[in-house]
């Protein structure tokens, strides 16, 4: 018996076990790296003039004087039951901080993915269908420029043009969802475009290459020989069978978008997870840094897992490969 995605339940369970092991390894790496970084959270909180006895008492209250393996196990078990601990700096549960910031970062990432896909796929397909034309050259030029230009520079350029000069959109900050959908999306538009354009450049190039490869396949020529129009053969056969590498790149781009929000949110002063990580690192709020990084790693792992399962939907011939049979 198979699932709707074409994967056997036993194979899915095996992959879930691999995901869990990956998360544990990622958590151990994050914990170890933060342990060896210089700086004591207790000293940062109390200041350079604090007495050693006061620092030692605060370290005990925070549990920082316990052995590293004990603190790691306590942290992992707490995350498993939904207890992310309390922020050293803000004095509130880390879960509350994450939820407050996720309502900015998650819509921003989804907005950027939507824009990247909406721009890249039509451009890539059009360039492949008109190979060698001026349109193809323009798309390839856009791809080259988009890959070369960093997203934070685009963000600064957009602020100068659309916020300062034209005054069409806000230069930074987040209006909040309580202000309405329009003001909230307006606050996210410039950072989302700055994140999306470099990724769209990569995705357009991959889409063009994948469609060009499928256009040369026998089944596309057979479809044309049977009387199917060029446009119908392109979209029904070539594009559909070219989606495997495109979806793969989209899954990989999710991790780049998550990483990119750290810089973009600082450029646009957005109160998201990226800015939270930046502030927590500066304040040595390690409990916040550990939890946010591991949660971002989990989200990337889950997205890649879903991409693997989607292969069986896009191309049934790959189900046996995806299942490991």
| 3-class DSSP state of 93 | strand
Helix %, strand %, coil % for the chain, to 5? 80, 0, 20
The number of residues in the chain equals 325
User: What confidence tier does 7 reach under pLDDT thresholds 50, 70, 90?
Assistant: low
Cα–Cα distance list, 5 to 12, 144, 313 (Å): 10, 36, 6
* DSSP sequence for 55-91: HHHHHHHHTTTS-HHHHHHHHHHHHHTT---B-TTT-
- pLDDT score at 83: 84
- pLDDT score at 325: 47
pLDDT in tens, 126-146: 898 888 889 889 999 988 888
Contact present, 27 and 76 (Cβ < 8 Å): yes
Give the long-range contacts of residues 38-47, CB within 8 A, separation 24 or more: 39/284, 40/64, 40/284, 41/88, 41/284, 41/285, 41/286, 44/283, 44/284, 45/88, 45/89, 45/284
Question: What average pLDDT does the chain have?
Answer: 82
pLDDT in tens, 169-214: 998 888 888 888 999 999 999 999 999 998 899 999 999 888 888 8
Lowest mean pLDDT among 49-53, 135-139, 159-163, 289-293: 49-53
Contact present, 274 and 3 (Cβ < 8 Å): no
- pLDDT score at 194: 92
pLDDT at 322 over 50: no
pLDDT in tens, 112-125: 999 999 999 999 98
| 3-class DSSP state of 279 | helix
pLDDT in tens, 17-74: 888 888 889 889 988 888 877 777 777 777 767 777 887 888 888 787 888 888 889 8
pLDDT at 233 over 90: no
- Per-residue burial over 263-281, b if 16 or more Cβ lie within 10 Å, else e, is bbbbbbebbbbbbbbebbb
């Amino acid at each position: 018996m198979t699932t709707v995605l074409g994967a056997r339940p036993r194979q899915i369970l095996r992959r879930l076990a691999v995901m869990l092991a990956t998360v544990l390894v990622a958590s151990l790496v994050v914990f170890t790296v933060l342990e060896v970084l210089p700086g004591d959270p207790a000293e940062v909180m109390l200041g350079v003039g604090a007495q050693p006895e006061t620092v030692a008492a605060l370290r005990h209250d925070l549990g920082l004087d316990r052995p590293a393996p004990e603190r790691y196990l306590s942290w992992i078990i707490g995350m498993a039951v939904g207890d992310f601990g309390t922020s050293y700096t803000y004095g509130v549960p880390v879960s509350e901080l994450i939820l407050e910031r996720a309502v900015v970062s998650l819509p921003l990432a989804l907005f950027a993915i939507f824009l990247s896909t909406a721009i890249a796929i039509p451009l890539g397909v059009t360039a492949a269908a008109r190979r060698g034309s001026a349109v193809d050259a323009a798309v390839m030029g856009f791809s080259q420029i988009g890959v070369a230009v960093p997203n934070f520079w685009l963000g600064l350029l957009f602020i100068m043009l659309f916020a300062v000069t034209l005054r069409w959109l806000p230069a930074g900050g987040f209006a909040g969802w309580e202000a309405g959908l329009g003001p909230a999306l307006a606050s996210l538009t410039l950072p989302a475009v700055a994140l999306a354009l470099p990724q769209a450049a990569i995705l357009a190039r991959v889409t063009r290459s994948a469609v060009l490869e499928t256009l040369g396949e026998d089944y596309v020529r057979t479809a044309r020989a049977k009387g199917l129009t060029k446009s119908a053969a392109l979209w029904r056969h070539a594009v559909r069978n070219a989606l495997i590498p495109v979806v793969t790149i989209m899954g990989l781009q999710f991790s780049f978008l998550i990483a990119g929000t750290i810089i973009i949110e600082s450029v646009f002063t957005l109160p998201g997870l990226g800015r939270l990580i930046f502030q927590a690192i500066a304040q040595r709020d390690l409990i916040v840094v550990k939890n946010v990084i591991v949660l971002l790693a989990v989200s990337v792992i889950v997205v890649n897992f879903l991409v693997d399962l989607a292969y069986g939907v896009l191309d049934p011939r790959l189900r046996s490969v995806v299942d490991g049979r």
